[in-house]
Chains A and B, each alone.
Chain A
Amino acid sequence: MVYDVYMFYDAFLKVIRHAEKHVPKEVLGYLFGNRYKWKDREYTVIKYAFPVRAHASEYYVEPREGELAKMADIAQRKYKVKLMVGWFHSHPGYGCFLSDVDLDSQRRYFFRPYHVALVVDPVRREFAFFKLKGNDYDAVPCQIIRKVKRGWNIGRRGGKS
């Protein structure tokens, strides 16, 4: 079973914390990771989220000049990820969807099949991933995942004495 999008929980937390911190203003950022295929189905893995400084109001957000280049540089140099797989922004209090402006941005800059848009509503505490579908867009199946931490299992070793 292959979902369209897998996002690491740490990156997801970064997005929602950033969005909640800036309520009622919108926030914006970029998503980095990679794309893979499995059984002839392509999927996107989001490993990192980078919020950017933006000009923002309750209904408007736009990255400041040079922020995208800066984020891409950080992603490449610090985290060794080269692929920008999408972007995220928030809709504080008015739900998760792509507005006409959002859709236009998606068509202009994130038109590849693996590109996603994550929209978060930090007031309603909702989120959704979207991808372009023809001239329109659609929500896509997703999983937020976290690597399982392995413990020492001291008590189990050796069985009963």
Chain B
Amino acid sequence: MVEEEERAKAEEELAEEEEKPPLVVSIKEEEVEEREPPGPPEYEVIYQTPPDKGMVLKYREPPPKDVKPLLVALIVTTLVLPSVLLPDLAAYELSRVICWQEGGFIVLDSSRGGKGFIDGIIKAFTAVRILRIDTKVKPSWECDKSLKVGDKIELPVEEGFYYLIVETEVTYLYFFRTKAYRLVSVNVFPNMRVVKYESKG
């Protein structure tokens, strides 16, 4: 009995559904913006058909790709990045400077190691020269600024603890240079050939 009632109800509902008009969904078209077509003087026309007739047009050989982005990338990688990175490279180089005492002389030895990946990109030459030697016990002493790597410098003291203010100059691409100043502390002992060194950059 219950099943019959349910069936009758379902049939009624179905009949009602069929009587209903089909559901109409209105899709509102997006409003089209009113805007003047692009044209002179803001825009230049490269190719065009007649305004009232479409047709096949010929085009010229496309120009080579704009090299500006490539140029910018080249400048950044060769000029800007090295000037940022190379002072650190110079510090690295400096940490390899070996100082030793030879009868009152310090020899700055350019044992240029260089990191392979930097060498692979840029041909870099590092020049290191001493600007000033400070000591805790003696007044500051300034050596000849024209000294280069490998030059012998006569020390003002025989032994002690020194700060060497050195100027590191990095030349890359053979003509661009960057300079950085580093503080190197050196302990000089009369009977030791190799002295301790450390760099503070």
Q: Chain A residues in contact with chain B, CB under 8 A? A: 1-4, 6, 9, 12-13, 16-17, 20, 34-38, 42-43, 45, 95-96, 124-130, 138-148
- Having A3-B49, A42-B32, one finds 20 other A-B pairs with CB under 8 Å, namely A4-B54, A9-B46, A16-B62, A35-B32, A37-B32, A38-B36, A38-B37, A43-B37, A125-B59, A128-B57, A141-B48, A141-B51, A141-B53, A142-B48, A143-B45, A143-B49, A145-B38, A145-B39, A148-B41, A148-B42
Complex Cα distance A2/B52, Å?
9
Interface string of B131-162 (1 = CB under 8 A from A): 00000000000000000000000000000000
Query: Is the Cβ of B36 less than 8 Å from the Cβ of A13?
Result: no
Of chain B, the residue at the smallest CB distance from A148 is: B44
Q: A16-B62, A96-B56, A130-B54 are in contact. Are A37 and B44 (CB under 8 A)?
A: no
- The size bracket of the interface on B is 20 to 34
Query: Is the Cβ of B54 less than 8 Å from the Cβ of A141?
Result: yes
Partner of B37, one of A6, A12, A140: A6
Interface of A is mostly: strand
Instruction: Report the minimum CB–CB distance from A29 to chain B (whole Å).
Output: 16
Q: Chain B residues in contact with chain A, CB under 8 A? A: 32-63, 65
Interface of B is mostly: loop
Query: Is the Cβ of A13 less than 8 Å from the Cβ of B62?
Result: yes
Query: Is the Cβ of B46 less than 8 Å from the Cβ of A128?
Result: no
Of chain B, the residue at the smallest CB distance from A114 is: B32
Q: A3-B51, A16-B62, A37-B34 are in contact. Are A127 and B46 (CB under 8 A)?
A: no
Residues of A near B63 (CB, < 8 A) are 13
Query: Is the Cβ of B54 less than 8 Å from the Cβ of A139?
Result: yes
Query: Is the Cβ of A45 less than 8 Å from the Cβ of B38?
Result: yes
Complex Cα distance A140/B54, Å?
4
